[in-house]
Structure 1
Amino acid sequence: MLNVLFGKTERLKEKPVWKGLSEIREFGEDYLNFFVTQKADEGNDDVLIFMVILVITMFFLKNIFGYLAMYFITFLRNGVLKDIRNELYKKTISLPLSFFSEKRKGDTIARISTDVLEIQHSFLSILELIVREPLMILFTILAMLIISVKLTIFVFVFIPVSGFLISLIGKSLKKKSDSVQKEQGFFLSIIEETLGGLKVIKGFNAEGIFGGRFQESTSRFFKFSNSLLNRQNLASPTSEFLGITVIAILLWYGGQMVLVEKTLDPGLFIVYMGLAYNILTPAKAISKASYSVKKGNAAAERVLEILNTTSPLEDKENAINKTDFNSNIHLDNISFKYEDEYVLKNFSLEVPKGKSIALVGQSGSGKSTIANLVTRFYDINQGAIKIDGIDIRDITKESLRGLMGLVTQDSILFNDTIKNNLLIGDKNASEEDILKALKIANAWEFVKDLPLGIETNIGDSGNKISGGQKQRLSIARAVLKNPPIMILDEATSALDTESERLVQSALENMMKNRTSIVIAHRLSTIQNSDLIVVMQKGSIVEKGTHDELTAKNGIYQKLVTMQSFD
């Protein structure tokens, strides 16, 4: 166009004829020549206005489509992010307790929050680039081949060399990124543990110890992040320098073709140089994206580690949905170990419907383990636990736990209102049911005096109320669920005498006409049980009613005597 305008080329008055693909370049040049000649005859101003309109139109279309691409990809990116988070949360709460006894909570939090964000920055932010840049390169290469095949082959000898050098930097990024993610999980764990144990930290003046730990972690994070970012920042200058080197060599080789061999038109050579430089921008973007992907790989692996973990407690394909409890719970010759040593060995016990069975013994005798196994928080290693003759492994976990109410030693409550804490037991319960449950649990007497009653927020872990009050709310939650089987795991051991008396009376109210397994530390709480089982190192050493065991004058009597002196 410029050649014609400035009179460098003979003007073409006749429209060129298409002679096939082999002469596409000549046809293109001639057609442009003919078009510009026509416009130039009408006056040079017309050609310039036409060129200006053409340029403005092209850039307008480029930007409008660029915006539309980003507009639609935003929904895709954020949608994928939402789905990954939802899947991670769903998987996290479906995994067994044993999975989290080995992992730090903070590390899991880091995976759900920062690692997922890293995936967004590294993978999802380059989605449009994966489509756009290769197309840009493809069309540019086609144009370059049309202008000069020889020159294009020469360029492609150098591109793999620069690509190889760029990939060397990328390889180290994944390793460095993994260290950053792990350290992030570690200091989030320290924050989580600090907030959970603030009372102990302050009480023992341990602020310095935890502060030191946190600072060590953030220093490591600082070091790893610097190392990672410095590598990443090296990507852009490296690819740019290599690109310019290729352009410089091209300038030398193409210059030979124009000036010495005279096989290439100078105007075309300038266009060719522009095209060659045009490849650099998308190539640079792709190399940057490949670094980004390497960095994101580490985060993706950490997220996939949780998503791909298979729970050993998965329901069987044809698991039974059991909704009623008719005869008994039978622990049939069970053995169980958390790690290497057996906590229970060949343990058998029958809990008939409507009876209250108490398990007593020293700490570490395996009492709480039985509660964990009956609720199937863990699976037994040998033997079987049956409800109405059906192995609990053949029942869906949801329906099995639906038959059971659980009151633990640590009354676990959530940062919400009393009402919402109780509704976890039965989400469809009416206000009347809630008040009834609170009365049975002897909790109404303090709830009614609270400023907002059942709408009162009880704070993080229920820390705005006392231990005895928390425990009575836990009992009210179990009462509201109204299950046929009750499991009480040392429900009164953390209480003072006054609270214990109230909680004990609440438990007795609750256990009327119910099957219950009571794990007790304080023997005063289980004297009315139908059967007391005395355990030692995972085995039964004595069993009978309170009176029978007292008459035996054995281990149970010893425990009673020791506690009566407390």
Structure 2
Amino acid sequence: MSNFKKIVPFIYPYKRYAFLNIFFNILYALFSTLSFVALIPMLQVLFDQAKERKTKPVFQGILKLQQYGEDYLSYYITTTKSNHDPGYILAIMVTIIISIFLLKNLADYLAMFFITFLRNGVLKDMRNAMYKKTLELPLAFYSEKRKGDVISRISADVNEVQNSFLAILELIVKEPLTIIFTITTMLIISTKLTLFVFIFIPISGYIISLIGKQLKKQSTKAQEEQGTFLSTIEETIGGLKVVKGYNSENYFNTVFQNSTQRFFNLSNKIGNRQNLASPASEFMGITVIAILLWYGGQMVLIDKTLSGPSFIAYMGLAYNILTPAKAISKASYGVKRGNAAAERVLEVLDQENTIVSKENAIEKTTFNDNISVQNINFKYEDENVLKDFSLDIKKGQTVALVGQSGSGKSTIANLLTRFYDVTDGSISIDGINIKDMSLYSLRGLMALVTQDIILFNDTIKANIALGKLDATDDEIIEALKIANAYEFVKDLPKGIYTNIGDSGNKLSGGQRQRLSIARAVLKNPPIMILDEATSALDTESEKFVQVALENMMQNRTSIVIAHRLSTIQKADVIVVMQKGKIVEQGTHEELIAHNGTYNKLVTMQSFES
């Protein structure tokens, strides 16, 4: 139950609904028991078995409550009979029974009414917490997890916690109280008969518990499989051009169907095992009642130690235990499923975020002097990417990082923005270690334009305004002009209010890239990081984007990661990297004259002029 304890904080904001639910569940359990006790006087009137009593009984304490109840009932029936016919008494008894059943069902409805607010509130807050955590976790987390699996945890697993795990709230109040009140009343009616019943209850309970032993393990597998096929959907839709272009529809269809078949098999096992809970508990209950009929019948007919009406009410109470017992067995299996889901949810919520702002972090809003990278080492898992790397970037400089794939160029961008942290060494801005700065202020000093163009299914304005949410239409248009993008945006049906589709798929590659540049321009940071911003573009689109980049880099400190000569020819410093180390640095002319690695790269046409 340790997982339930971790879920409890989500319940606190809704605790008043929990208390109201408990209160009405207590009333439900009480009225549920009274509804069967109320049958005794009605049956006594029907079969004319009420004792004659003309004196009003005196209450002599809780231990003699049963005797007092029987005596008072006899007194009431005797005195009422003298003034009214039996039909009148019977009508009163029927009215009392109907009233008790009405109150029982009203209490049940109100208990469910209040628990609905709690369950849906916990669902909302847990989903919000999961989404917030997914935004906060470092990029390294998502290099190990499938995106579809994370989506499955936020949607399906959180829903399972709400549907199954929170059933424990009902499990620990409503049903146990109903059983306690019922058994207490059964003990009052006949202690001997009730003790006889207790011999068989543990046996039936043990048999039922055997059914649910493997449920949690199978539920975990099913939820993992759900994450797998959601990942397949997400990856297939994202790579639909490749899937269709390589005629791979059948392959991906097979992968998906194999996953859903495994999910189908697991779901059937879980469902059938869970479905067995209710009939098994009912059969065990009926078996106990059958034994009761035999033993109790002897007490009524042979021993004469129990009256007929009391025995009939007792049997009703015994059957009244069946419904909550069935609910408990069913809910306990639900809790096992919910526990498996809760583990997957809590795995994300409990995940340590290693990249956070330290306490009392420095809020830096200006860039005055330089960026200093000193003797840094960095590794992705066990692979060294940067080794003893040092670089000094002065304010206003354009510094280009070039080299073959895998040389560590993009890693520099990831470390400057603290998407990852260095293993050794330090990165400083104006002499302040970036780990001492708040993440918000550090990233506020920078704008990133990547090779992978990331746009969202929203309007052009919403996409560009991410770095400045209160931007006016005029500011958006000015940023678009600097990014050389307004010439196509102004011709769109709704201008800057045009929706660009999922990942901006209504636009060309060059148009999308210019929008991402406009987003960086509007943010207007002092430091610009361009990570191979033109590598995916055709020559014509590249010319438009290159003009946009040159406009944007004016009067800014720029770090350009590129493999096209057109992007870096005018850079103040070109840093040539190889296997995580700097092998050359200088201007374009100096490096060509040096006739080293850079010149070889140019000659091999790794750069295009």
Q: Normalising TM by the smaller chain, what interval? A: over 0.9
Matches within 5 A, 1:75-86: 75-86=117-128
Residues 355-380 of structure 1, C-alpha deviations (whole Å, 9 max, x = no match):
11110111110000000010010111
Question: Which amino acid is the alignment partner of residue 560 of structure 1?
Answer: V
- For normalisation by structure 1, the TM-score amounts to 0.97
Question: Which amino acid is the alignment partner of residue 541 of structure 1?
Answer: V
How far the C-alpha of 1:240 sits from its partner, in A, is: 0.8
CA contact 2:564–2:606 (8 Å) conserved in 1: no
Aligned residue number for residue 373 of structure 1: 415
Identity of aligned residues (%): 69
CA contact 1:95–1:311 (8 Å) conserved in 2: yes
- Name the SS of the counterpart of 2:410 in structure 1: helix
Answer yes or no: is 1:31 the counterpart of 2:69: no
- Supply the distance in 2 between the matched residues of 1:95 and 1:342 (Cα, whole angstroms): 23
CA contact 1:4–1:37 (8 Å) conserved in 2: no
For the structure 1 residues 167 and 103, does the alpha-carbon distance in structure 2 shift closer, same or farther, using more than 3 Å as the test?
same
For the structure 1 residues 69 and 182, does the alpha-carbon distance in structure 2 shift closer, same or farther, using more than 3 Å as the test?
same
- Supply the distance in 1 between the matched residues of 2:282 and 2:114 (Cα, whole angstroms): 30
CA contact 1:5–1:36 (8 Å) conserved in 2: no
CA contact 2:459–2:496 (8 Å) conserved in 1: yes
Residues 492-532 of structure 1, C-alpha deviations (whole Å, 9 max, x = no match):
11111221122111111111111111101102211111111
- Name the SS of the counterpart of 2:427 in structure 1: strand
Question: Which amino acid is the alignment partner of residue 336 of structure 1?
Answer: F
Aligned residue number for residue 149 of structure 1: 191
Aligned Cα RMSD in Å? 1.5
Matches within 5 A, 1:316-335: 316-335=358-377
- The answer to which of 241-250 and 484-493 deviates more is 241-250
- Supply the distance in 2 between the matched residues of 1:519 and 1:564 (Cα, whole angstroms): 14
Answer yes or no: is 1:18 the counterpart of 2:95: no
CA contact 2:46–2:90 (8 Å) conserved in 1: no
- Supply the distance in 1 between the matched residues of 2:607 and 2:504 (Cα, whole angstroms): 33
How far the C-alpha of 1:392 sits from its partner, in A, is: 1.1
Gaps (5+ residues) in structure 2? 1-40
CA contact 1:4–1:10 (8 Å) conserved in 2: no
- Supply the distance in 1 between the matched residues of 2:80 and 2:174 (Cα, whole angstroms): 34
Answer yes or no: is 1:185 the counterpart of 2:222: no
CA contact 1:16–1:27 (8 Å) conserved in 2: yes
Question: Which amino acid is the alignment partner of residue 110 of structure 1?
Answer: S
- For normalisation by structure 2, the TM-score amounts to 0.90
Answer yes or no: is 1:361 the counterpart of 2:393: no
Aligned residue number for residue 8 of structure 1: 49
- Supply the distance in 2 between the matched residues of 1:294 and 1:110 (Cα, whole angstroms): 18
- Supply the distance in 1 between the matched residues of 2:148 and 2:410 (Cα, whole angstroms): 26
- Supply the distance in 1 between the matched residues of 2:508 and 2:181 (Cα, whole angstroms): 73
Matches within 5 A, 1:47-196: 47-125=89-167, 127-196=169-238
How far the C-alpha of 1:317 sits from its partner, in A, is: 1.9
Aligned residue number for residue 248 of structure 2: 206
- Name the SS of the counterpart of 1:492 in structure 2: coil
Aligned residue number for residue 467 of structure 2: 425
- Supply the distance in 2 between the matched residues of 1:9 and 1:489 (Cα, whole angstroms): 94
The partner residue of 1:488 within 525, 530, 534 is 530
Question: Which amino acid is the alignment partner of residue 61 of structure 2?
Answer: G
The partner residue of 2:330 within 288, 300, 305 is 288
Residues 269-326 of structure 1, C-alpha deviations (whole Å, 9 max, x = no match):
2322221221111111111111111111111111111111011112212222221111
- Supply the distance in 2 between the matched residues of 1:20 and 1:486 (Cα, whole angstroms): 85
For the structure 1 residues 403 and 565, does the alpha-carbon distance in structure 2 shift closer, same or farther, using more than 3 Å as the test?
closer
CA contact 1:4–1:11 (8 Å) conserved in 2: no
How far the C-alpha of 1:260 sits from its partner, in A, is: 4.2
Question: Which amino acid is the alignment partner of residue 146 of structure 2?
Answer: R
CA contact 1:5–1:40 (8 Å) conserved in 2: no
CA contact 2:53–2:78 (8 Å) conserved in 1: yes
Question: Which amino acid is the alignment partner of residue 193 of structure 1?
Answer: E
CA contact 1:69–1:128 (8 Å) conserved in 2: no
Matches within 5 A, 1:288-437: 288-437=330-479
- Name the SS of the counterpart of 1:424 in structure 2: helix
- Supply the distance in 1 between the matched residues of 2:226 and 2:475 (Cα, whole angstroms): 45
- Supply the distance in 2 between the matched residues of 1:312 and 1:133 (Cα, whole angstroms): 44
Aligned residue number for residue 251 of structure 1: 293
Question: Which amino acid is the alignment partner of residue 113 of structure 1?
Answer: S
Count residues with an aligned counterpart: 566
- Supply the distance in 2 between the matched residues of 1:66 and 1:136 (Cα, whole angstroms): 12
CA contact 2:477–2:486 (8 Å) conserved in 1: yes
For the structure 1 residues 526 and 10, does the alpha-carbon distance in structure 2 shift closer, same or farther, using more than 3 Å as the test?
closer
- Supply the distance in 1 between the matched residues of 2:48 and 2:150 (Cα, whole angstroms): 72
- Name the SS of the counterpart of 1:488 in structure 2: strand
- The answer to which of 392-401 and 476-485 deviates more is 392-401
CA contact 2:45–2:90 (8 Å) conserved in 1: no
